[in-house]
Structure 1
């Protein structure tokens, strides 16, 4: 039995996972205000122990605990996180002092990729890629059946430039993929479109502009709104630019799209995305195939992948 811990910007989740990758018990609590490294480690350890006991397992009998972190890590240390103020934190050692079992750390998108690889849409592949569309854009890659980690710094796909001199990114560059294809980028472009067209249904779908989300534009497009439809096309073109780059670089057998936006309607997101990928990817010119699919596991992918990390490192 294993515990997978998923550290999110809003919630902390712990799942008890068996050899087959099945979630047997889940605990979730709000992240809350960060009180420091020691209290944070103690909270994670307590959450892991509770999830184990919920599944009828003594925490000391766990094979190990895997932790998905939204930032750069080694297997033992958090190098840097943006949303939680931690840098050079020996989190594995701190957790072991409470749990007395081995602990592995990994980037959260990498963990989600591992989860989908073993229990989701990546099953049966040797080379698999996952792109997560959320506040930013994350990426995880299984190459030749091993997680591509590069010392915790791999997979930052959101920071390749797709619009030279474009919108400023939090990383300091301009025109990064995540400034256009993340939920944050789509929300920004939705607001801009609303300001250009005061009669758009985007206003209705967002309660007069007070509740714009990554799904607002898709909801309005389904109702036939021309401005929303045009924005959907623009958004997919930006998403496809990065997706095709990844297909050309890694040639995965399957590339999955996850995150909140990844739940959008087939005809508005995946169908046009596949059309562009098939038209523009290098592999199709050589008789290869492009497989771009919707991720399967949703919010559970990170917990499952964290729990199964040892199999691909």
Structure 2
């Protein structure tokens, strides 16, 4: 049996998994990232978490083919340098070199959204698919692009920022500093903002039954009200899906992927949610909308660990 280690480095947690050749996570470890702090102690903690996960699996680094790291920010996977990660305050951090010094094995590094997309491609909803996009609807809109079975990340790893495609000129302000990005509209944050605005305008909406105050509004509020027959909840969901589909059509027109995998908490709405998106896409698409399928992500938070663990398969020398 072959074993690999995947590290999902986040702004809040460091999650590590030992993954076997069948894409099964056989052991885990987790610790707080405690950002923002220097890269050296974070790498020390990542190394400690790797040893912990291996110990839990009764393995050592001698049993591991390589270690993969999925990290926020722009990553040059050829050099293993994180150019910039705002939630870690990393600037030109040679994380590959730092982790290889600590572990004594080959280390591969990739952007976390790309690693998660690769995880879905090798073991999840997109298994066997050569051309796919993975979209995560969370606090922001994360994205990963797989073309011809490989991660596309652009020059110096700065590409694939699917959440920062503009869909409304002069629209809502985005965290990237630009206005009108799809992230400002189609993220869970965007949905919450749409919901709050509708609730303030319609005090008789059933959305108030599911969120007694604006501070309690979640990505589920409008969906829950819609299921109770609330016309205002229905309108919020329809508007939200319209924005999301508008962006997805742009991706389809550019990449013509076989599959788009949608993850994040909102994806738990499942097939009824996908059906609404498909209807909006069909009304806007250039050409044949049946070229691209939609599916909900299958691996959840494990996608980043599994994708990172198999980054070595993408290396030119393998």
Residue in structure 2 matching 1:116, options 112, 120, 132: 120
**Residue 238 in 1 paired to residue 240 in 2?**
no
What corresponds to 2:293 in structure 1? Answer: 291
Q: Is the 8 A contact 1:283 1:290 kept in 2?
A: no
1:290 deviation in Å?
2.6
What corresponds to 1:63 in structure 2? Answer: 65
Q: Is the 8 A contact 2:12 2:35 kept in 1?
A: no
Equivalences for 1:75-114 in 2 at 5 Å?
75=77, 76-114=80-118
Q: Which moved more, 1:54-63 or 1:140-149?
A: 54-63
How many residues align? The count is 310
Q: Is the 8 A contact 1:41 1:94 kept in 2?
A: yes
Using the alignment, how far apart are the partners of 1:201 and 1:43 within structure 2? Answer: 47
Using the alignment, how far apart are the partners of 1:179 and 1:125 within structure 2? Answer: 29
Residue in structure 1 matching 2:181, options 176, 180, 191: 176
**Residue 16 in 1 paired to residue 18 in 2?**
yes
Q: Is the 8 A contact 1:60 1:100 kept in 2?
A: no
1:49 deviation in Å?
1.4
Using the alignment, how far apart are the partners of 2:55 and 2:112 within structure 1? Answer: 24
TM-score by length of 1: 0.95
User: Match of 1:167, SS?
Assistant: coil
What corresponds to 1:282 in structure 2? Answer: 286
Residue in structure 1 matching 2:136, options 129, 132, 136: 132
Q: Which moved more, 1:74-83 or 1:24-33?
A: 24-33
1:283 deviation in Å?
3.8
Residue in structure 1 matching 2:148, options 124, 144, 147: 144
Post-superposition CA distance 1:23-72 (Å, at most 9, x none): 11111223334332111110111111111221121024321111111211
Post-superposition CA distance 1:132-167 (Å, at most 9, x none): 111111111111121112221121011111111101
- Where structure 1 has 5 or more consecutive residues not aligned to the other structure, the ranges are none
Using the alignment, how far apart are the partners of 2:152 and 2:237 within structure 1? Answer: 32
